Amino acid sequence: MTARVRTLRLVLAYDGADFAGWQRQAGQRTVQGELEEVIGRIEGAPVHVAASGRTDAGVHAAAQVASITLTAAITPERLVRACNATLPVDVRVLAAEEMPDRFHARIHARGKTYRYFIWHAPAGQPLLRRMAWHVPQRLSLAAMQEAAALFVGEHDFSAFQAAGSSVQTTVRRIWTSTVEPDAALPPWCAAPDDRGRLLTFEVAGSGFLRHQVRAMAGTLVLVGKGRLTLADVRRALAGGARATAGPTAPACGLHLWKVHYPE
């Protein structure tokens, strides 16, 4: 009997701090490499796990989406349990479901939501060091919020992409862009004197250039410090050179939060 080939959608979470990114690389520890090794043993043959998009070294995911094809006679629920029993502790399969054969996690994605976390306090918080960027200097939250709103809409984000990127167009559409303080910090990371706060830069859009969200976060921090103005941000969004925007924020603060698909 010929085994039935099925397409499955996986929802994944991982702490990217100890990974060299998503994509399999020779001699490097990657999320794709770990998943393909574990699922390949279940399948009894090599498998390819296709993600909605690559994440760079040190970047995290709360709900990355991937697609695979399998012939192994295993239910999605059992696949989740079997994967998590073997995967390293910094990556987990949160859910799995059968999909139509044509489904592809990257091709059918319609957009993504990212969150970038900034720990704003005089002292760093060791319990957040792998998950947030520590910025001790004074920041104007109001200025950062005004600047974040400028990102909404369709703009040329060439000033916000990594050097050496080769894409057909640097124009991207941003749906929402906000900066908010976390009103309810977990007790294990709250500063005892209430001097620290966790700022969340959340941005959603139809697509992003390499390092775009981190460059946007770096720009917002310079605005918060008073070193860039709203006019500077507007100039950068008009297709300015990379130097017109802020620095690329550290990878530790970036989290792929959600991948959007048609209903």
Q: What is the Cα Rg of the chain in Å?
A: 20
Is residue 56 annotated as part of the catalytic site, yes or no? yes
Of 15, 56, 90, 156, the catalytic one is 56
Neighbours of 73 (CB within 10 A): 9
| Cβ proximity of 31 and 19 under 8 Å | yes
> Sign (positive/negative) of CA torsion 168, 170, 172, 176?
positive
Antiparallel, parallel or unpaired: β 111-120 and 197-205? antiparallel
What phi and psi values does residue 257 have, to the nearest 5 degrees? -95, -40
Within 8 A by CB and 6+ apart from 81, the residues are none
- Bridge partners of 60? 255
- Separation of alpha carbons 49 and 106, rounded Å: 11
Cβ burial, residue 212 (10 Å; 0-12/13-18/19+): buried
Neighbours of 50 (CB within 10 A): 17
**Active site amino acids:** 56
